[in-house]
Amino acid sequence: MKHLLSINDLSREDAILILDTAAELSRIADGPMKKLPTLRGRTIVNLFAEDSTRTRISFEAAAKRLSADVINFSAKGSSLSKGESLKDTALTLQAMGADAVVIRHPASGAPTRLAENQWMSGAVINAGDGTHEHPSQALLDAFTIRKHLAKGATDLAGLRVAIVGDILHSRVARSNVLLLTKLGAHVTLIAPPTLLPFGVESWPVSISYDLDSVISNVDVLMMLRIQQERMQERFFPNAREYSRYFGLNRDRMNSMLPNSIVMHPGPMNRGLEITADAADSARSVIVEQVSNGVSVRMAILYLLLAGLPIEGGIN
């Protein structure tokens, strides 16, 4: 496997290998070895054409812990913002000798075009493209869920996950639906009808418009961010109505099962989709998701870059 553009690029075994590798790396990171020489001499470029602090820093930390050289290329003030095309940016990176590009881009499919057009020869890792996918987020979410709830199993068989919010515009939701179902979890999507994608009935998930009827029967509640623009675009009347029906507050949280957890990919709109006390509660693993992100991204970089590119599967 040369690129990671979508969860569909991974078989179930590939995904579990990433999780297992991340588990060992996070154990190593807790203990003795802070830095590994594995990717010494490799150059990884972070091409972030869309603002993001969290994901970019996470990939940067992951690359550096593997001793790779990191070059950051972000939208503001770069030639990208001055209208340079994606193609020209890629050709420049190729000339600089990038072994891999971690790309976040507002256009769905931009990483795919980068990989298909062969403007550059390195590996392409999708760090979030438009409303399409965010594979490393789904992997770190699955890692977090497995760590808390899988009771030693390598996959997520039988676990019940609810994803709540703007599914229509969420690349995190798309990648999570693909990965969680691949690992055997049962997924329910909860959103107002206006924020569900056309044809979602054909996805391997359950659908509900009613958070209260589902929340006491799930092991994982994953809240998605609602963007302010959605209110201007008239997907629902106003923020109050959205929070009333789909927001996570203390009462809703108290109705959850004893060992269930609350997740959020960040950044959060405290008070809109999630109240402060829910975000900071003992059930919330939101902060841990961030630290798990580095180990998972180290695993991705290692498995994609350390060896030769393989056709069809990592191992």
Partner 1 sequence: MSYLLKNGILPNGAKTDLAIQDQLLVSPDALDKNHRIIELDGKQILPGLVDLHTHLREPGFEEAETVATGSLSAVRGGYTAISAMANTSPVADTAGVVEQVFRLGQLTGLCDVFPIGAVTQGLNGEALSEIGAMADSSARVRVFSDDGKCVFDPLIMRRALEYVKKFDGVIAQHAQEPGLTIGAQMNEGEISAQLGLKGWPAVAEEAIIARDVLLAEHTKSRLHICHLTTAGGVEIIRGAKSRGVQVTAEVTPHHLLLTDDYAKNYDPIFKVNPPLRLESDVLALRAGLADGTIDIVATDHAPHSLESKDCEWAEASFGMVGLETALSIVIKTMVETGVMDYLAVADRLSIAPARIGRYETHGQSLEVGKVANLTIVDTAAKWIVDRDLMSTRSKNTPFHGFELPGVVTHTFFNGKLVFGG
Partner 2 sequence: MKVVLPAPDISRAIVRIAHEILERYNGAESLTLLGIPTRGAHLANRIALSINAIEGGQVAIGTLDVTMHRDDLRTRSPKALLPTVIPAAGVEDRHVVLIDDVLYSGRTIRAALDALGEIGRPSSVSLAVLIDRGHRELPIRADFVGKNIPTARTEIIKVNLIEVDGSDEVTIAEGGAR
As annotated, the active-site residues are 54-55, 82, 104, 134
12 near partner 2, rule: CB under 8 A: no
Degrees to nearest 5, angle at CA 284 with 249 and 205: 80
| Region binding partner 2 by CB under 8 A among candidate stretches 32-40, 141-149, 179-187, 210-218 | 32-40
Q: Which does 36 bind (CB under 5 to 8 A by kind): partner 1, partner 2, none?
A: partner 2
Q: Which does 157 bind (CB under 5 to 8 A by kind): partner 2, partner 1, none?
A: none
* Separation of alpha carbons 19 and 211, rounded Å: 30
Q: Using CB under 8 A, which residues numbered 94 to 123 contact partner 1?
A: 105-110, 112-113, 116-117
Q: Which does 268 bind (CB under 5 to 8 A by kind): partner 1, partner 2, none?
A: none
32 near partner 2, rule: CB under 8 A: yes
What residues contact 58, with CB distance under 8 A and at least 6 apart? 290, 293, 294, 297
| Region binding partner 1 by CB under 8 A among candidate stretches 14-22, 69-77, 124-132, 155-163 | 124-132
Q: Which of 61, 70, 200, 257 binds partner 1 (CB under 8 A)?
A: 200
| Region binding partner 1 by CB under 8 A among candidate stretches 69-77, 125-133, 251-259, 282-290 | 125-133
Q: Which does 81 bind (CB under 5 to 8 A by kind): partner 2, partner 1, none?
A: none
Q: Using CB under 8 A, which residues numbered 253 to 312 contact partner 2?
A: 302-304, 306-308, 310
Nearer to partner 2, 34 or 234 (CB): 34
| Region binding partner 1 by CB under 8 A among candidate stretches 23-31, 32-40, 63-71, 196-204 | 196-204
What residues contact 119, with CB distance under 8 A and at least 6 apart? 87, 90, 91, 94
61 near partner 2, rule: CB under 8 A: no
Whether the CB-CB separation of 46 and 72 falls below 8 Å is answered with: yes
Whether the CB-CB separation of 241 and 225 falls below 8 Å is answered with: no
Residue 201 beta carbon to partner 2: minimum distance, rounded to whole angstroms: 38
Q: Which does 25 bind (CB under 5 to 8 A by kind): partner 1, partner 2, none?
A: partner 2
Residue 300 beta carbon to partner 2: minimum distance, rounded to whole angstroms: 11
Using CB under 8 A as the criterion, which residues of the chain lie in contact with partner 2 when the complex forms?
17, 20-21, 24-25, 27-28, 31-38, 66, 302-304, 306-308, 310, 314-315
Using CB under 8 A as the criterion, which residues of the chain lie in contact with partner 1 when the complex forms?
85-87, 105-110, 112-113, 116-117, 129-133, 171, 174, 197-200, 202
